[in-house]
A and B are shown apart, each in its own frame.
Chain A
């Protein structure tokens, strides 16, 4: 019997906790991916070792489809694992986690397919793979090379599980809506209405003028916090600016040319936060 959604998450967290990962809780500000939170972006700077596992909702306003398309959502879940420095047996540890949720790697076709990651708003990139199990992409695996526009001092391994995809594979469901979240409760029960309402907000109602103003406010607040040598709250303003940009994008309020300039502005903030963090914290 396949694990339900919540048991699968618990099993993965337990697996990594046993391997000396700190189980932190989801970060409180909207992010497009677990990579953005301070537990990855900032902790992977500098020389200090760090191992963590956490669930993070991935909020991507443009990806919503009003709950009508069973493959696209404006919110889904990632399980983020950071191993810093990346140990030599990192892949074997990762494959062990698949076994821990019930995937027999000898019966299935598990493959690492080249996928280089780039996060332009974070000035970050790394090399790695998407991991396929019988053709289903269940994980994104990255060795960070640059963060905040700077070469990393110590290479971290980032393992990002797409939890819905992994669960769909385990439970053999065709859509995320049909996943069993807990006994008697599906993913759709929990989130379908959420998708509908947020899609309306993201695409139709988010107030463009106010968002434009907010973006600038986050930008200047970030600068202020950096001047006060408070990189952690400053980083939160980067995340808020980034999410505001994503909302404006979903509203179709940003042309492609402006896009590049918005991304450049967020990247500039992220770089300054990274520099300040190295100065103040590390």
Chain B
């Protein structure tokens, strides 16, 4: 049998629609034993179609105590299942109850109720005395099992809000047809197809702020039409025009002075004229605001930063700009990035950013450009928030990379110092994204970011991101993090160099490192190696190798040649291997023993420059 179940609501937010869409299949399967064959979601309805339901639920054998325990356990079991002791049956040596299947029509209303109440949403409300909570008021439910009604649920649905009222649903099969005849496209995928087709038909369309996902659930009957605005607004920066189109109005730019509207019906000419008027009003307003900002000019905007608090406890944006300049300086940034740091936050005082926060950075760059600053400065201001997502592109210019790194460093340092460390999935200040951005600027961006710029907790948090970012086992990242390298990029490259070393070459130095650590902790090593006590050739060989390797390794690290550093460390391998084969470290003579321990500890100290090899499991 086919079931249709629809929950009718006042217009749901798109987010809630997506939440329901994700949960309905699992809930249906849990309650009805079958996943839905269709899920229809949109602003006014959440519906499922479930096929292959049996008219009668199956009989179920409930196994009870063994027959042998009849005396002790039968009464309790029978009571629990609401039957008389005499009614218990015997099967394969056990007592039990045969629970008879029920007609689907009897159990279904309660199951549908469970589905409805099982939905969980991020934000819900009450609307009447029922106390029910849902993202927006629920106004009807409609259910059909083939052609039959289901319990108290209605058998009517509602068509398009303004062109059709309540419509009868004769059977579960008729759901989609009935709604389409009533100006509703219930299938979200089909609505998306219709919208895309409509937009494609209008030309090259763009969706820079990613509004399409929401728009699919803002309409039940998509009507895609184009509009135009007066060409004088093309004098505004393109980003401003596009943001005015998308941010509030959810229009799609079609290039030049054309835009696309996705409406929910109405007469195209009437709807077009109204929307054109609205957009021109917004652009007019943006022009006023833009011109007021320009009149002030970027220097004046920057001067106002002293009265705008950046973050409670972290001073004003003027303080932030000052910190950025210092960080840029420490990062080795040149004049362009220093100048960009000074002006980077000026647009926080711009009226246009108060109106459209998503314009921060790009509009500051525009104001700098119009004030005649060099392109390198303007580009850096525009690029300061990049990468703006985990996989987003990095700034294309060097000053942009330096400023972007400084901005992220400051955000992280300030947030941590105020105790806003991300916990679990909570990260309201986007610190994980900032840390990932910083790591990528160091690796892909080739920027030297000294570790000493960060307090320990920030440094640790940032470097932990490498564990997910680098294509090496996490233990190598952990090992490299303990190395005495000075900048973030070096940590990453050292981890990669360690991971690239073949196992058989890693093995001896790893063993030496571990053994030295273990023995060194147990026994007293000599404070200093005494070459005259090196009796065995094998230990002499290690000492010689160490003398050779030590400067080589240090030198390689200083020139950031990590492959060479790891190579140098690995050179100790054969000698160490022989040492472990031929020499008993714990010699009976305490002096010899202490000296050998010292030798091992010296080896460990040298290898330690490559990190904490003990992190690597063997």
Residues of A within 8 A of B (CB): 65, 68-72, 85-86, 88, 91, 95, 105-114, 116, 126-127, 129, 133-137, 143, 145, 154-155, 168-169, 172, 174-175, 252, 255-257, 260
Given A65-B288, A71-B284, A145-B126, residue A109 in contact with residue B264 (CB < 8 A) = yes
Residue of A nearest to B267 (CB): A107
Report the minimum CB–CB distance from A223 to chain B (whole Å): 27
Q: Which residues of A contact B261 (CB under 8 A)?
A: 109, 135
Given contacts A109-B271, A110-B266, A134-B273, list 8 more A-B pairs with CB under 8 A: A72-B285, A107-B266, A113-B218, A127-B125, A134-B263, A135-B279, A137-B248, A260-B312
B312 to A135, Cβ gap below 8 A? no
Per-residue CB proximity of B65-88 to A under 8 Å, as 1/0?
000000000000000000000000
Interface contacts (Cβ under 8 Å), in number, total: 115
Report the minimum CB–CB distance from B223 to chain A (whole Å): 7
Distance, CA A266 to CA B514, complexed state (A): 64
Task: From B10-18, B169-177, B446-454, give the one contacting chain A.
Answer: B10-18
A109 to B223, Cβ gap below 8 A? yes
Q: Is B249 an interface residue (CB 8 A)?
A: yes
A174 to B266, Cβ gap below 8 A? no
B288 to A69, Cβ gap below 8 A? yes
Distance, CA A143 to CA B275, complexed state (A): 27
Given A143-B127, A155-B126, residue A255 in contact with residue B13 (CB < 8 A) = no
Report the minimum CB–CB distance from A97 to chain B (whole Å): 14
A108 to B271, Cβ gap below 8 A? yes
Report the minimum CB–CB distance from A137 to chain B (whole Å): 8
Interface size for chain B: under 10, 10 to 19, 20 to 34, or 35 or more residues? 35 or more
Per-residue CB proximity of B138-173 to A under 8 Å, as 1/0?
010000000000000000000001110000000000
Closest 9 A/B residue pairs (Cβ): A134-B274, A256-B309, A114-B13, A109-B263, A109-B266, A112-B11, A135-B275, A135-B278, A71-B285
Which residue of A108, A114, A255, A257 is within 8 Å of B14 (Cβ)? A114
A133 to B274, Cβ gap below 8 A? yes
Residues of B within 8 A of A (CB): 10-11, 13-15, 43, 123, 125-129, 135-137, 139, 161-163, 218-219, 223, 248-249, 261, 263-267, 270-271, 273-275, 277-281, 284-285, 288-289, 307-309, 312, 316
Distance, CA A111 to CA B136, complexed state (A): 15
A127 to B136, Cβ gap below 8 A? yes
Report the minimum CB–CB distance from B305 to chain A (whole Å): 12
Report the minimum CB–CB distance from B42 to chain A (whole Å): 13
Q: Which residues of A contact B43 (CB under 8 A)?
A: 112
Q: Which residues of A contact B285 (CB under 8 A)?
A: 69, 71-72
Residue of A nearest to B136 (CB): A127
Distance, CA A136 to CA B249, complexed state (A): 9
Given A105-B162, A174-B281, residue A111 in contact with residue B270 (CB < 8 A) = no
Q: Which residues of B contact A69 (CB under 8 A)?
A: 285, 288-289
A155 to B128, Cβ gap below 8 A? yes
Distance, CA A134 to CA B268, complexed state (A): 10
Q: Which residues of B contact A260 (CB under 8 A)?
A: 312
Report the minimum CB–CB distance from B98 to chain A (whole Å): 46
Residue of A nearest to B135 (CB): A127
Distance, CA A138 to CA B307, complexed state (A): 34
Which residue of A106, A107, A134, A256 is within 8 Å of B278 (Cβ)? A134
Report the minimum CB–CB distance from A114 to chain B (whole Å): 4
Q: Which residues of A contact B163 (CB under 8 A)?
A: 106
Residue of B nearest to A252 (CB): B307
A-B contact pairs, 5 of them (CB 8 A): A68-B288, A70-B284, A109-B271, A110-B161, A174-B277
Distance, CA A129 to CA B129, complexed state (A): 21
Distance, CA A175 to CA B248, complexed state (A): 19
Q: Which residues of B contact A106 (CB under 8 A)?
A: 162-163, 265-266
Given A69-B285, A86-B127, A257-B312, residue A108 in contact with residue B139 (CB < 8 A) = no
Residue of A nearest to B225 (CB): A109
Q: Which residues of B contact A126 (CB under 8 A)?
A: 125
Distance, CA A175 to CA B277, complexed state (A): 10
Q: Which residues of A contact B309 (CB under 8 A)?
A: 255-257
Distance, CA A143 to CA B135, complexed state (A): 11
B10 to A110, Cβ gap below 8 A? no
A109 to B284, Cβ gap below 8 A? no
A145 to B125, Cβ gap below 8 A? yes
Given A88-B139, A143-B127, residue A107 in contact with residue B270 (CB < 8 A) = yes
Distance, CA A252 to CA B306, complexed state (A): 12
B128 to A129, Cβ gap below 8 A? no
Distance, CA A109 to CA B274, complexed state (A): 9
Distance, CA A174 to CA B378, complexed state (A): 35
B307 to A255, Cβ gap below 8 A? yes
Q: Which residues of A contact B271 (CB under 8 A)?
A: 108-109, 134
Residue of A nearest to B251 (CB): A135
A135 to B266, Cβ gap below 8 A? no
Distance, CA A255 to CA B304, complexed state (A): 12
B123 to A71, Cβ gap below 8 A? no
Distance, CA A154 to CA B43, complexed state (A): 25
Residue of B nearest to A69 (CB): B288
Q: Which residues of A contact B264 (CB under 8 A)?
A: 109-111
